[in-house]
C-alpha cells in the first residue's frame, strides 16, 4: 500500500488493524493495542494529502486520552493506570486508634482507670463507642510505655506506681533537664523566652480548673516548648516520655494539679534574667511535685 503522510497512514492503519504487508503503529511500552470500534471507515488510507479532519483524528488517536475521559468510559487503554482506591479502612482504624490512645492516656492521668484494676478491650470499646480492635491496639501501645500490663485472657491491668518509682523518674528527669535548662539560660535570647509566656500562664489556668488531665497536657506543652529550643528532637521525645510517666497517678488516687503550676512562670522569669542559681533550684525542685 502506498502511504500518504504520517498522520493519514497511521490513522488508516489504526482504524483497520494489522494486515499482511502493512506497517503497524508501534505499541506503547507495556500497553496493548487499542480495540477496534466498528468497521473501518472507507477511504481512511486514501492516497494523496490527508483531509484535515482525518489528520486531526489520527493525531487524537496518538495522544493518550485524559484519565476519566470518553476513552476511559469506553474501556479503551488510556496509557495510564487507574488509581487504586485509597485504603480507607486502614487509615480510619489508625485514626481511631490514635483517638482512643489519647482518651486512654487522659483517663489514666485523671485516675478514671484505677491502678491495679483490670480492663478488657470489649468493655472499654463499649465505653468509647468503638470496637475492641482499636482499643486493644491502643492498650498494646500503653503496655510498651509501661502504663499497663497484659493479663492473658482478661485484658490489661493498670500498673501500680509507688513513691519509689516516682522518685526515680524525678531523678532521671533532673539529670537530663537541669543541665539543659542551664545551657538554654546562657544562650537563648530574651525575646524567645517571652514567646513562651502564654504557655506558662496556660498551666496556671489549667491548674485552677481542677482538671488534672487538662493541667497535665498544659504542663507537657510548656516543658516541650522549652526543650524544643535545644533543637534536639531525641531529647524532646525522651523527656516527654519520662514526663508522661511521672504524671500517672500513684496508688491512692490523683494528686492535686495545683502543686507546681506557679513554678512555670517563676522558672520563665529566672530564664529571662539568666539567674542560673534560681533556674537550677526551680528545675531540680520541680520534679518532686505533680508535674
Same domain, 152 and 197: no
CATH number at residue 100: 1.10.10.10
Same domain, 277 and 171: yes
Residue 109 covered by a domain: yes
Same domain, 195 and 240: yes
Same domain, 150 and 259: no
Same domain, 248 and 205: yes
Residue where a domain stops, chosen among 158, 179, 211: 158
Same domain, 257 and 168: yes
pLDDT, residue 248, reads 81
Residue 86 covered by a domain: no
Residue-by-residue pLDDT tens, the chain, 291 positions: 444 444 444 444 444 444 444 444 344 444 444 444 444 444 444 444 445 544 445 544 444 444 444 444 444 444 454 554 444 444 345 588 899 999 999 999 888 898 999 999 999 999 999 999 999 999 999 999 889 999 999 999 999 888 888 889 888 988 998 999 999 999 999 889 999 999 999 999 988 888 888 888 999 999 999 999 999 999 999 999 998 888 887 766 555 455 577 889 899 999 999 999 999 888 877 765 444
Same domain, 98 and 213: no
pLDDT, residue 210, reads 82
Residue 127, Cβ neighbours under 10 Å: how many?
A: 13
Residue 23 covered by a domain: no
Residue where a domain stops, chosen among 158, 174, 194: 158
Residue 68 covered by a domain: no
Same domain, 277 and 242: yes
Same domain, 222 and 270: yes
Residue 43 covered by a domain: no
CATH number at residue 249: 1.20.120.530
Residue where a domain stops, chosen among 128, 158, 188: 158
Residue 70 covered by a domain: no
The residues near 236 (Cβ < 8 Å, ≥ 6 apart) are 224, 227, 228, 230
pLDDT, residue 253, reads 57
Same domain, 279 and 197: yes
Furthest CA-CA distance within the chain:
98
pLDDT, residue 16, reads 43
Same domain, 228 and 125: no
The total number of structural domains that make up the chain: 2
Structural domain containing residue 242: 163-286
Residue 19, Cβ neighbours under 10 Å: how many?
A: 10
User: Distance from CA of residue 199 to its chain's centroid?
Assistant: 24
Residue 193 covered by a domain: yes
For every residue of the chain, DSSP letters joined together read ----SHHHHHHHHHHH---TT---PPPPTT-PPPPP-SSPPTTTT-SSSPPHHHHHHHHHHHSPPPTTSHHHHTT---SSPPPPPP-HHHHHHHHHHHHHHHHHHHHHHHTSS-TT-EE-HHHHHHHHTS-HHHHHHHHHHHHHHTSEEEETTTEEEEPP--HHHHHHHHHHHHHHHHHHHHHHHHHS-HHHHHTTHHHHHHHHHHHHHT-HHHHHHHHHHHHHHHHHTT--HHHHHHHHHHHHHHHS--TTSPPPTTSSHHHHHHHHHHHHHT-HHHHHHHHHHHTTS--
Which set of grid coordinates corresponds to residue 140? 498494646
For residues 270 and 279, the answer to whether their CB atoms sit within 8 Å is yes
pLDDT, residue 83, reads 54
Residue 251 covered by a domain: yes
Same domain, 239 and 169: yes
Amino acid at each position: 500500500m502506498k502511504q500518504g503522510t504520517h498522520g493519514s497512514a497511521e490513522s488508516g492503519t489504526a482504524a483497520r488493524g494489522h494486515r499482511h504487508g502493512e506497517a503497524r503503529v508501534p505499541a506503547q511500552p507495556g500497553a496493548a493495542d487499542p480495540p477496534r470500534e466498528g468497521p473501518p471507515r472507507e477511504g481512511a488510507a486514501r492516497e494523496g494529502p490527508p483531509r484535515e479532519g482525518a489528520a486531526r483524528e489520527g493525531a487524537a488517536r496518538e495522544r493518550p486520552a485524559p484519565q476519566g475521559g470518553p476513552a476511559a468510559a469506553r474501556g479503551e487503554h488510556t496509557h495510564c493506570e487507574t488509581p487504586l482506591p485509597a485504603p480507607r479502612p486502614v487509615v480510619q482504624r489508625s485514626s481511631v486508634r490514635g483517638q482512643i490512645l489519647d482518651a486512654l492516656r487522659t483517663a489514666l492521668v485523671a485516675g478514671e482507670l484505677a491502678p491495679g484494676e483490670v480492663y478488657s478491650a470489649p468493655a472499654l470499646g463499649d465505653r468509647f463507642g468503638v470496637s475492641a480492635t482499636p482499643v486493644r491496639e491502643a492498650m498494646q501501645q500503653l503496655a510498651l510505655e509501661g502504663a499497663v500490663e497484659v493479663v492473658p485472657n482478661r485484658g490489661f491491668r493498670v500498673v501500680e506506681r509507688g513513691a519509689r518509682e516516682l522518685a526515680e523518674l524525678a531523678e532521671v528527669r533532673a539529670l537530663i533537664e537541669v543541665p539543659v535548662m542551664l545551657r538554654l539560660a546562657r544562650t537563648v535570647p530574651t525575646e524567645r523566652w517571652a514567646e513562651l509566656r502564654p504557655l506558662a500562664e496556660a498551666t496556671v489556668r489549667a491548674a485552677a480548673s481542677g482538671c488534672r488531665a487538662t493541667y497535665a497536657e498544659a504542663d507537657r506543652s510548656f516543658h516541650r516548648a522549652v526543650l524544643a529550643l535545644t533543637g534536639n528532637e531525641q531529647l524532646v521525645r525522651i523527656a516527654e516520655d519520662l514526663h508522661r510517666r511521672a504524671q500517672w497517678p500513684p496508688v491512692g488516687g490523683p494528686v492535686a494539679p495545683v502543686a507546681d503550676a506557679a513554678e512555670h512562670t517563676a522558672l520563665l522569669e529566672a530564664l529571662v534574667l539568666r539567674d542560673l542559681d534560681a533556674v537550677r533550684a526551680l528545675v531540680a525542685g520541680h520534679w518532686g511535685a505533680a508535674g
